[in-house]
Homo-oligomer: A and B are copies of this chain.
Amino acid sequence: MKKLIVASAEEKILEAAKDVFMKYGLYGARMQDIAETANINKALLHYYFRSKEKLFDKVFEGALKKYFQQMDVFSDESLPIKERVLKYVDNLISFLFEYPQMSIFIIKEVSINPELFKEKVHEIKKGKSIGLIKVLEEEIAASRINKFDTAMFMVNLQSLCSYPFIASPLFKISLKANGKDWNKDFNTEKLKESIKNFVEFTFEKK
């Protein structure tokens, strides 16, 4: 009988640490809690990662990388700009569906410790993708699209994509109080559709 392939202790720890840190943050998370979630001895945490801060760092770095990876699509010059934006929306929403705590986790930790963030971002972004705003402004300058407030568009777009996942516990209650059901009346396809409308509206508007 073949032995089941089980994740290595190190992998299990990282998984558990991700869950616990995402839920409670750096200061709220307890090493014992992480160890129990990973089903291993607490000393193992320190054996593999030396300290709570080091372990957190690994988790946080991984989260940031995945998050910023979503923006690579903006520099894909094989697609027209509007398609790039729509593809970004598509990717980001699928991503947030899988990791709903991601943005709130990053935001919280960034607001508590902005220093750490600046370092990490600099490291991750070096040489990589230009941002949405720059691309849009180039298109506007070349008169390939109408002029609009690119910074505000970016803020609105991020808001529409991210907030529903962040605030779903709140929305669940709100909808129920209005005779609706979050699981029935909200889904990612409908959300994508409504954001697509917003994008079209922005690009088409004179």
- The answer on a CB contact under 8 Å between A174 and B27 is no
How many copies the complex holds: the figure is 2
Q: Kindly list chain B residues whose C-beta atoms are within 8 Å of the C-beta of A118.
A: 173
A156 / chain B contacts, CB cutoff of 8 Å: 160, 194, 198
CB-nearest residue of chain B to A33:
B27
Q: How far is the CA of A134 from the CA of B176 in the complex (A)?
A: 11
A176 CB to closest chain B CB, in angstroms?
Answer: 10
Q: Is A59 an interface residue (CB 8 A)?
A: no
Chain B minimum-CB-distance residue to A25: B28
Report, nearest first, the 7 A-B pairs whose CB atoms are least far apart: A159-B163, A28-B28, A27-B28, A133-B178, A151-B185, A163-B163, A131-B178
Q: Which residues of A contact B (CB under 8 A)?
A: 23-28, 101, 103-104, 106-108, 110-112, 114, 117-118, 121, 125, 130-134, 149, 151-152, 154-156, 158-160, 162-164, 166-167, 169-171, 173-175, 177-180, 185-186, 190-191, 194, 198, 201
- Interchain Cβ contacts under 8 Å between A and B, 6 examples: A111-B169, A114-B169, A117-B169, A134-B178, A159-B160, A159-B162
